[in-house]
Amino acid sequence: EADIYQTPRYLVIGTGKKITLECSQTMGHDKMYWYQQDPGMELHLIHYSYGVNSTEKGDLSSESTVSRIRTEHFPLTLESARPSHTSQYLCASSVPSGRGENEQFFGPGTRLTVL
Amino acid sequence: GQSLEQPSEVTAVEGAIVQINCTYQTSGFYGLSWYQQHDGGAPTFLSYNALDGLEETGRFSSFLSRSDSYGYLLLQELQMKDSASYFCAVRGGGSNYQLIWGAGTKLIIKP
């Protein structure tokens, strides 16, 4: 059973606000990911991390930033939210070996609406 | 560019068998995975193929042909709870060796 948590589950905010989406996992996984997914669409990788103090941008251009100060915690921050950021944000982690990045465990997601 | 193609929607009858195809075009190949996502939920891992052939996990099987850049997910003895979207994902080369996702296939099951 995967243990990966995201808060908040739902968030409605106004344009220009700064927000942080939280993600934590208790599995000790080194690799963590943030995806953006619009309804009925594919997942787009926006950030990933291979471990503490390691963060990389994904393929989808994003105005967000991430940090990885502790293995279990991978928060995503939007400095100034805009309506174009309205989407679902999914956090995931994977084991360091074997299937590696191919088998990812997902949190429940944060559904963000920017007015 | 890198891309995956899968049908947008498939309809089947409860108790039947359904196959969801996935073709991919990626620079490099390090495995094909399948995920299930119910409406409003998060993706959950179903299966993974690194080598050619069939992998079976209960009612679900997944097949890969690397020479054809093709794979499929086979669901047997369909149940209403299998109604969901199914995503194929390939770990390709490119700039970061991360998963590239298909747009998903919505499986509709009729009684």
* Dihedral pair phi/psi, residue A51, rounded to 5°: 160, -175
Between A40 and A20, the higher pLDDT residue: A20
Out of B41, B91, B102, name the one closest to residue A101 (CB).
B91
- Across the strands, what pairs with A93? A32, A105
pLDDT of residue A2: 58
Whether B83 shows a pLDDT value over 80: the answer reads yes
Cβ-contact A101, B91 below 8 angstroms: yes
Mean pLDDT on B81-91: 96
Contact B42 A106 (CB under 8 A): yes
Q: pLDDT category, A1, cuts 50, 70, 90? A: low
Banded model confidence at residue B9, pLDDT cuts 50, 70, 90: very high
Q: What percent of chain B has pLDDT over 90?
A: 83
Confidence of residue B93 (pLDDT cuts 50, 70, 90): confident
Neighbours of A101 (CB within 10 A): 22
Going by pLDDT thresholds of 50, 70 and 90, the confidence category of residue B94 is low
Which tokens in the block code for residue A107?
């949190």
Say whether residue B74 is in contact with chain A using an 8 A CB cutoff.
Answer: no
Q: Indicate the burial class of B37 (C-beta count within 10 angstroms; 0-12, 13-18, 19 or more).
A: buried
DSSP E strands: which ranges in chain B? 3-5, 9-13, 18-25, 29-37, 44-49, 53-57, 60-65, 70-75, 84-92, 99-101, 105-110
CA distance B44 to chain A (A): 7
Q: pLDDT category, B95, cuts 50, 70, 90?
A: low
Q: CA nearest B31: which of B100, B86, B105?
A: B100
User: What was the pLDDT predicted at B27?
Assistant: 85
Q: Which of B30, B45, B97 sits opposite A104 (nearest CB)?
A: B45
Return the minimum-mean-pLDDT range out of A15-19, B25-29, B104-108.
B25-29
Write the CB contacts of B100 (distance below 8 Å, at least 6 apart in sequence): A59, B2, B3, B4, B24, B26, B89, B90, B91, B92, B94
Q: What is the pLDDT of residues B30-81, one digit of tens each?
A: 899 999 999 989 999 999 999 999 999 899 999 999 999 999 999 999 999 9
pLDDT of residue B92: 81
For residue B102, pLDDT over 80 is answered with yes
